[in-house]
Structures are given as structure tokens and as C-alpha cells.
């Protein structure tokens, strides 16, 4: 039974409803009795904790939203790489899949899901259906924390290609929902290392900052909607007055008390024992936005007016665009490798991002031109490596500039041999 045939439409996800937290080892352990599937070993934060942080932390949600929104702005399309009617038809079919990926979602919605998973859990996946044929009817985003791999000690080879991926039930992490072959899952991983099968969640490095942000939000709410923690000082007050004050305050804070206001006809001072004032909490939150910004998101995109260190707005934007384009290129490489080459077996179609051509940096373009003119790279190498553009179908585009110039001169001479002979022969008069 397919994963989404069984669980589509169910909204409840374990860990979101505020159930008691289970240890990471139990929460993320392998659900299969087989020992082939590798369990995450380096996750210090459970998936339910990450879900709760995302649901409650405006700071984290802001980070993830900016990244996913910027990535989705880069549209992905299929283009034919050969001039044939078959290649053109295949590209059209794939573009239809990108318009409507399944019965409920567009490809943009699927992308939003797996990109969020990638930056929350460090891993994400796309399930390709059907899994028994070299064709694609629908694609779905699979919860990243539910993916388990059946790989050897190197982490690079599947032990059984027909049972390469194990998908756990998000409603019951101890139950296997489905098992997929190697060509029916596009597996994305973030911050992967040579000795680890799974990626590392970025949340682990900013966990304390996110918890501080949540606590500051609670402090602001407590300072606004409830009685502050503090001490009321009444100088030289008689015992009867003190007893009266304590009695009235006790009645005031009782759950079912009718008294909403209490007053004492005596001068006194209130010492606020709250950790931070509302102003200090707001300043703390502003500081946390920058402290936890491991994604290098420009300040103006986070609704913050402050500059980021010594970088101006353009430098911040360029750095962030490099991050986003790196993610999009990673998506393109995985889609071409698994969906196009492995699953469908196409060699005449590829996934590209046409928006790269309209977002080219002047600096990168100038460097590419210099490399081509300096006989360091070919035009097609410059287009693909530095500009993110597809290669052009021209023999000279795969040649260095000097070789292409020599070839053009040779072709011109071959096309007009008389002109070459007349220019090199002496005059009839011998002068």
C-alpha cells in the first residue's frame, strides 16, 4: 500500500498536539524489526520538538518562510535537449506534472513542503508514483523525519534496491507505512557528512536562541495580561494594615474571586522582580533575530532596519541569493538524476530554471566573459557553471575562444580558396 494512498487527508501528526515528549532515541528509532534500515544517530532534538518550535516560534517560522518563498520564486520546467518530436512531447508531459503534481497539489505546494522539511529536519523526500513502472502519474512530499534508508556502511549503496526506502507512519512512528524502491524516492539531505547517512537539522545549532525567543514572548504576554512578579513595600505599616493588604491581594488572584480591583490607603512602592521589562524583551527579540540568523537572510527581509555587520543591503542580498540559487540547483540536480534519468530513463529532456537567466549578477557575468576570453573555459562551461544556464547547441560553444577563432579562419579559407591563393601569389609582372 502506498504511503499517501493510506494517509492522505489525516491531519493529526504526533508531537504537534503537545503530547508528552519522548526521548530522541525512542522517538526516532527504526520501526522495522529488520536491522537493514539505518536510524538517525546524531539527532539531538526530536521531530515533535521541532514541530512545536515551528508552530510556536515566530522567529523560526519567519526564517523558513523567507527561504521557501524565495526558492519557489525560481520556477522549474522541463525542456527538450534534442530536436525531436519525442523529446518535445516528453517535456510537455513533465511540465503538466509540474502544473498538477497530484489530485490535490501543484508542484509549488509540493516544493514548499519538502523545502520546509529540509530546513527543519535536515532531510526531505518526494515519493514518485507508481513505484512499479517507469512512468510518473503523481508526486508527493514525504515527511523528512519519516524516511529511513537501507544502505551499507558507506552510506552510498543500497543493500536492496527494491526495498531501498522505508517510510514510517507520521501518526505512529513505530509503524511502517510503505517500502519504496530506489527509483521511486527523491531524497534530499542537508549538511550531510561522509560518516553519516542522514543530514543535520539546522535547528540544533540555534535551539537555545529559539527557546529564548519563546521565553521572551511569554514574558511580554505575562507583563501585559497578568500580575507582575514583585514585592509591595509599605514603610512603617502596622500589622493590621499588612494583613488587610495580603488578604485583599489573595482574594484578587483567586480563580473565582469577584474582586477585580484592590486599593490600599497608604503610600508604598512596588519592586518589579520580573526578569526583563517589556522594552528589554523587545530588544532581546531583535537581537535574537540576528543571533539566530544562520541562513544569512538580509535584515530588510526580516523586517529589521539594522544593518548586518559591515555588509550593505546589496552585499546581503547577493549572499542570500547565492544561498537560494544553491538550493534550487540542488533541486534541479536531484530531479534530473532520479526523476528524469533513473525513473523515466530519459536522455533527451532535462529540468532547468529559466529564471536564472533573468537574475544574473553583473559580477558573475563579467567573470564568465573574462574566463571565456582568456581561454580558460568554453562558452558552454561558463553558461552551466557560472551562470546556471543550459548549454547551447553549437560546436564553437564547446571550444576555447582561440580554438574557435582558428576554426572559423580555417573554415573561411576552405570556403574561399581562390581569395587565399590570389592574396599569396606574386604579380604577373613579377613586381
Cα–Cα distance measured from residue 418 to residue 323, given in angstroms and rounded to the nearest whole number: 57
Q: What is the pLDDT of residues 192-210, one digit of tens each?
A: 777 777 877 888 877 777 7
Distance, CA of 61 to CA of 52 (rounded, Å): 11
pLDDT of 16 above 50: no
CA angle at 146 for the pair 174 and 32, rounded to the nearest 5°: 40
- Mean model confidence pLDDT for the chain: 76
Report the run of H or E that residue 121 belongs to, with start and end. helix 107-121
Q: Which residue has the higher pLDDT, 189 or 156?
A: 189
Give the model confidence (pLDDT) of 134-166 as tens digits. Answer: 889 999 999 999 999 988 877 788 888 999 999
Structure confidence at residue 180 as a pLDDT band (50, 70, 90): very high
pLDDT at 329: 93
- How many C-beta neighbours within 10 Å does residue 38 have? 19
- Nearest-angstrom CA–CA distance, 378 and 368: 10
Model pTM score: 0.62
Q: Where are the domains of the chain?
A: 1-227+276-359, 230-273, 360-415
DSSP β-bridge partners for residue 129: 138
C-alpha Rg value of the chain to the nearest Å? 31
Amino acid at each position: 500500500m502506498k504511503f499517501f494512498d493510506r494517509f492522505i487527508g489525516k491531519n493529526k501528526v504526533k508531537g504537534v498536539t503537545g503530547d508528552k515528549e519522548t526521548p530522541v532515541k525512542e522517538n526516532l528509532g527504526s520501526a522495522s524489526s529488520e536491522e537493514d534500515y539505518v536510524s538517525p544517530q546524531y539527532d539531538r532534538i526530536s521531530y515533535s520538538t521541532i514541530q512545536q518550535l515551528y508552530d510556536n516560534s515566530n522567529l523560526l517560522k519567519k526564517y523558513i518562510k523567507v527561504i521557501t518563498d524565495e526558492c519557489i520564486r525560481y520556477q522549474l520546467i522541463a525542456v527538450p535537449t534534442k530536436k525531436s518530436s519525442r523529446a518535445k512531447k516528453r517535456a510537455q508531459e513533465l511540465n503538466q506534472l509540474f502544473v498538477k503534481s497530484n489530485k490535490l497539489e501543484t508542484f509549488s505546494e509540493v516544493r514548499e513542503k519538502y523545502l520546509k522539511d529540509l530546513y527543519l529536519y535536515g532531510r526531505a523526500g518526494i515519493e514518485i508514483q507508481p513505484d512499479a513502472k517507469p512512468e510518473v502519474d503523481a508526486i508527493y512530499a514525504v515527511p523528512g523525519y519519516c524516511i529511513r534508508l537501507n544502505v551499507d556502511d558507506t552510506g552510498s549503496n543500497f543493500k536492496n534496491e527494491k526495498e531501498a526506502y522505508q517510510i514510517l507512519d507520521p501518526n505512529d512512528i513505530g509503524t511502517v507505512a510503505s517500502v519504496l524502491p530506489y527509483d521511486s524516492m527523491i531524497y534530499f539531505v542537508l549538511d550531510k557528512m561522509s560518516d553519516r547517512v542522514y543530514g543535520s537539522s539546522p535547528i540544533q545549532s540555534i535551539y537555545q536562541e529559539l527557546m529564548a525567543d519563546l521565553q521572551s514572548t511569554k514574558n511580554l504576554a505575562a507583563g501585559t495580561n497578568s500580575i507582575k512578579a514583585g514585592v509591595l513595600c509599605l514603610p512603617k505599616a502596622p500589622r493590621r494594615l499588612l494583613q488587610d493588604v495580603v488578604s485583599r491581594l489573595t482574594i484578587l488572584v483567586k480563580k473565582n474571586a469577584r474582586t477585580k480591583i484592590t486599593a490600599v490607603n497608604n503610600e508604598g512602592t512596588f519592586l518589579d522582580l520580573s526578569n526583563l521589562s517589556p522594552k528589554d524583551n523587545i530588544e532581546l527579540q531583535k537581537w535574537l533575530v540576528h543571533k539566530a540568523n544562520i541562513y544569512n537572510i538580509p535584515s530588510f527581509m526580516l523586517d529589521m532596519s539594522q544593518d548586518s555587520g559591515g555588509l550593505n543591503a546589496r552585499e546581503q542580498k547577493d549572499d542570500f541569493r547565492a544561498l537560494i540559487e544553491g538550493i534550487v540547483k540542488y533541486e534541479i540536480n536531484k530531479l534530473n538524476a532520479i526523476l528524469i534519468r533513473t525513473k523515466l530513463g530519459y536522455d533527451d529532456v532535462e529540468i532547468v530554471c529559466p529564471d536564472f537567466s533573468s537574475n544574473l549578477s553583473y559580477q558573475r557575468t563579467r567573470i564568465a566573459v573574462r574566463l571565456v576570453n582568456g581561454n580558460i573555459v568554453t562558452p558552454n562551461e561558463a553558461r552551466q557553471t557560472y551562470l546556471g544556464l543550459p548549454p547551447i547547441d553549437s560546436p564553437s560553444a564547446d571550444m576555447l575562444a582561440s580554438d574557435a577563432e582558428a576554426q572559423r579562419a580555417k573554415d573561411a579559407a576552405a570556403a574561399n580558396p581562390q581569395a587565399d591563393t590570389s592574396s599569396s601569389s606574386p604579380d604577373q609582372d613579377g613586381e
